[in-house]
Structure 1
């Protein structure tokens, strides 16, 4: 029976992921909501007291002394008014403080989750993003959630609850005024949604541009010595300037939409308030067409409603402003999705690898689904015999690297996958990874000596063993001339691309694993160097199982099998 691993065909939407992030901090967010509602209740009381006081002032004779002759009740009104004015800032501060703490904690937990995902051995081997792009995601895009968590989450609830509260206290004074408020209220969220969709798309493009800009800038900084040697610093400067200008234009497009939406929201809110004010003013003058010579709303009630009218639309206007924070957060979550897409899935095998080494690999109806449900890999059959080599080719997006990531235990899959006749899903992952070696397009090197970089593969390797490995990859003369203490800059600066590829092969020899997975290790080399490295692989991989992904077949006539993804089955090159 084929073994199927657990998989999720569809990643939850960005909105759903954002709601899940809030779950651990619901206590703080609910308390912040209650404080905001308490602030609104105090505001209603404050405006009610002000309306009553102004009405009393109008009814008092101009010649009378207002404060000295005021009844005792006035003193209690002033005390209550002062209490409202003093307590409201305290409640507002408490709400802001709780929202800030919730945002900090949620972003810290999310960043920890991303770093933990990247810390998994399989993820480290399989991840292909540049360091700059990863840094942008872990830092900038996690922080892009701040505005949403601090403001939008609570404000989205206040935009519903506060208008309802104000309608409840307005209706006893004037049902028509409450109806006008109710009918004009949908205009604000309607235009907020229309403009917010455009803002969301612009925010997503802006974050993608920032990620690419960060990756490009870091790569150019790392390669500065090479650029200076090639006298290409001016071209690099022009590239950065063009990328920065593109990012500036996208940023201005987002700001343009933000200001446009704010202006539209303010216009409709002002228009609605003016409509209510005209109705109340004409009513006080007694010239309403349907209520001539009568005052439908007394002065106190009219003033109270007029004071509350701006507050009725204020939460909706604020939500419109904060909607851009929601758009930024959803765009950031979509960018973070590749780092979190299989966070809930882990390779659960516990059994050691059976049989002898090198290993044989078989697959039948193997498939992998992307986060949006599309197929990333469809492999009807595969049979790699122990000690044989397999060349995988195909168009971009056909699933070449995806197959290697499945074998690294980094992606869930469906179908049958056997190693030495044993279900891959049952194998203990760390033990399996200790039996293979993976080499990506860009080998990883650190700033240090050549020996330091070789010892990344085998920390206990002796100098004689390192020299022997370098001799096997054709760098014996280089070691004899410059020695193992030859310093290398970050990412191997100081060596040519072909030399770095040979050093990477020397690292594979020092680790001495029975299975090699090579993902386009010669993609960045010129045709002659690529052919030489391919021929060198023929010599070094003897006695090992080898899976090589390569667009080029130059120098690979020696491979035992070829797999063209999209074809029904593998072909034996020696048949």
Structure 2
């Protein structure tokens, strides 16, 4: 990984530590107190052994020392527990905040941005990569501070009693972080590549799993199984590469710590044998001095070794942070930044909805122009259909209207620019129904009540039943053993497309919206289900406006106006009869459409345009 990139990611990770709250500081404090208690234990052990072995004092003279030593043993255990607990809470607080920030960011960026990656990749970011930040804050950051404090405290205790031992400790201490850096130089890059492989594997597997029936029908199951096996093998190799880094790092650190302690032991051994006579301050080296320093020596290197052990947590966090930082630092387009709630805005949206677009140009999240410039108006109560070939920009228009895509030009709702309206307030006025209904894992009751919850209301069971009756799906729900508690599984498993669409329709009706936004609401339905949905929409939208995208031209005779898009431009607009009688894209689409004979008769028999304020049928 480029050093500048690694430095940027490390800086970003450290900026997030405020999310850990006071737990991070508590973990450091408990770690320092643990080190001090261990020094006290070393002093007590050395004092007892010096007195009993060299000074030949009775054991009773050290009874208080024994009790203090026992007390410190329990105290060290309590401090170690408190440190681990505080570290865990610090990591937990951080994960909760980062995960909430990621979810809020995805909600703000909207579905148009999310569709840029497979669902499995987002799952990897939200779950795996956030989870892998834990040890960086719970272990590495506290240990980095302790690796500086505890050796310094030990040196302050060692130098006054033996300067040679202090010099040995001071000279050998840099070996551990030096070799830790050398071994760990490639760890961050290996982790970054590992997370990339995991995201690809997750996305690849999720997409193939959702399209399993298609793969089976085209006899591509074996081929895709090999592709998944190859992606899995790539991920395995990268994971093993990361583990090799971690084990090599630990082995190197243990080796140099052992060598350093051995040098210190050799110094004291030769000093006791009389071959070395330096390092003391006038008097010979006592048993107390040797024991005290040798007991402290492993603890002098232990924080450095622990930092090396946890260094892979830093590398892991850097690898995980790359996509997280990119996501959280993604700027919302100025046209996606909506205003705050004002009384004038609320009053404007309380009136029947009108829409005015003037030189409206819609862009993708990466700045590619998708639609426009186009201009049109929709008066209160008016029903407008948007038609055109695939890729003409129909869905882009709806996405801009819903606040999911940035735009330039004017898009006014009741005279107020959409970018100045608070999105939650605007969306409360809308009922949305698409061609692929999204029902959530739960019960029928919970899914239908979701529409009312958006309005801050609660629905009774009788009200939910009435909505399901309107959507012509109550018979199905009532026939289930659990009724309204009938479980809806993930991906609407166990429901037909028509049943799922009608439950979604009941949810939309629960909003009691002033305006309906429909995206091919009957595209995937059989004729009976289509008629049921059309009839319900006809009744629900008698006094509301509607903007609908559709490919079914045979249902446009009830629309007040039809907008025809082609290659991102508005090429025609008018009533069904006017467009059917005029050469252009719409008439060409009619000719290409295989219609029933009675539809052709309707086209030929229409002689007047519907008035804009006339109540019409379903979109």
Per the alignment, do residues 457 and 147 of structure 1 end up closer, same or farther by CA in structure 2, a change over 3 Å counting?
same
1 or 2 for the larger relative contact order (CA 8 Å, sep ≥6)?
1
Kept in 2: contact 1:185–1:313 (CA 8 A): yes
Per the alignment, do residues 446 and 197 of structure 1 end up closer, same or farther by CA in structure 2, a change over 3 Å counting?
farther
2:483 aligned residue: none
Residues of 2 paired with 1:349 and 1:195: CA distance? 52
Check if 1:53 corresponds to 2:56.
Answer: no
- Deviation per residue, 1:300-344 (Å, 9 max, x gap): 212211221111111011011111112212322323335433589
* Alignment partner of 2:111 out of 105, 113, 124: 124
Per the alignment, do residues 153 and 287 of structure 1 end up closer, same or farther by CA in structure 2, a change over 3 Å counting?
same
* Alignment partner of 1:347 out of 318, 338, 361: 338
SS of 1:237 mapped into structure 2: helix
2:128 aligned residue: 140
Residues of 1 paired with 2:220 and 2:364: CA distance? 44
Equivalent pairs counted in the alignment come to 472
2:444 aligned residue: none
- Deviation per residue, 1:235-280 (Å, 9 max, x gap): 2322222111111101000001111111222222222222323333
Check if 1:330 corresponds to 2:318.
Answer: yes
Per the alignment, do residues 81 and 291 of structure 1 end up closer, same or farther by CA in structure 2, a change over 3 Å counting?
closer
2:230 aligned residue: 242
1:479 aligned residue: 527
Check if 1:205 corresponds to 2:205.
Answer: no
Check if 1:306 corresponds to 2:294.
Answer: yes
Kept in 2: contact 1:436–1:513 (CA 8 A): no
Residues of 2 paired with 1:547 and 1:304: CA distance? 86
Check if 1:26 corresponds to 2:21.
Answer: yes
Q: How does 1:106-117 map to 2 (within 5 A)?
A: 106-117=94-105
Kept in 2: contact 1:283–1:295 (CA 8 A): no
> RMSD in angstroms over aligned alpha carbons?
4.9
| Structure with max Cα Rg | 2
2:36 aligned residue: 41
Check if 1:451 corresponds to 2:446.
Answer: no
Q: How does 1:333-482 map to 2 (within 5 A)?
A: 333-342=321-330, 346-348=337-339, 351=345, 357=355, 359-362=357-360, 376-377=366-367, 383-386=373-376, 409=403, 417-419=409-411, 425-430=419-424, 446-447=492-493, 448-455=495-502, 458-459=505-506, 479=527
SS of 1:384 mapped into structure 2: strand
Check if 1:80 corresponds to 2:68.
Answer: yes
- Deviation per residue, 1:130-171 (Å, 9 max, x gap): 222222222222221222232122111111111111111011
Kept in 2: contact 1:361–1:384 (CA 8 A): yes
Per the alignment, do residues 541 and 336 of structure 1 end up closer, same or farther by CA in structure 2, a change over 3 Å counting?
farther
TM-score, with length taken from structure 1: 0.67
Q: How does 1:175-324 map to 2 (within 5 A)?
A: 175-288=163-276, 297-324=285-312
Question: How far 1:295 moved relative to its partner?
Answer: 7.0
- Deviation per residue, 1:35-87 (Å, 9 max, x gap): 22111111101111222223234325xxxxx7xx6164311121122222222
Per the alignment, do residues 284 and 485 of structure 1 end up closer, same or farther by CA in structure 2, a change over 3 Å counting?
farther
- Deviation per residue, 1:550-570 (Å, 9 max, x gap): 9xxxxxx959xxxxxxxxxxx
Per the alignment, do residues 439 and 361 of structure 1 end up closer, same or farther by CA in structure 2, a change over 3 Å counting?
farther
Per the alignment, do residues 47 and 117 of structure 1 end up closer, same or farther by CA in structure 2, a change over 3 Å counting?
same
Kept in 1: contact 2:497–2:524 (CA 8 A): no
Question: How far 1:191 moved relative to its partner?
Answer: 2.6
Residues of 1 paired with 2:430 and 2:566: CA distance? 14
Q: How does 1:159-170 map to 2 (within 5 A)?
A: 159-170=147-158
Residues of 2 paired with 1:180 and 1:16: CA distance? 34
Kept in 2: contact 1:32–1:95 (CA 8 A): yes
- Gaps in structure 1 of 5+ consecutive residues: 1-9, 61-65, 369-375, 394-400, 463-468, 487-508, 519-532, 551-556, 560-575
Per the alignment, do residues 546 and 73 of structure 1 end up closer, same or farther by CA in structure 2, a change over 3 Å counting?
farther
Kept in 2: contact 1:359–1:514 (CA 8 A): no
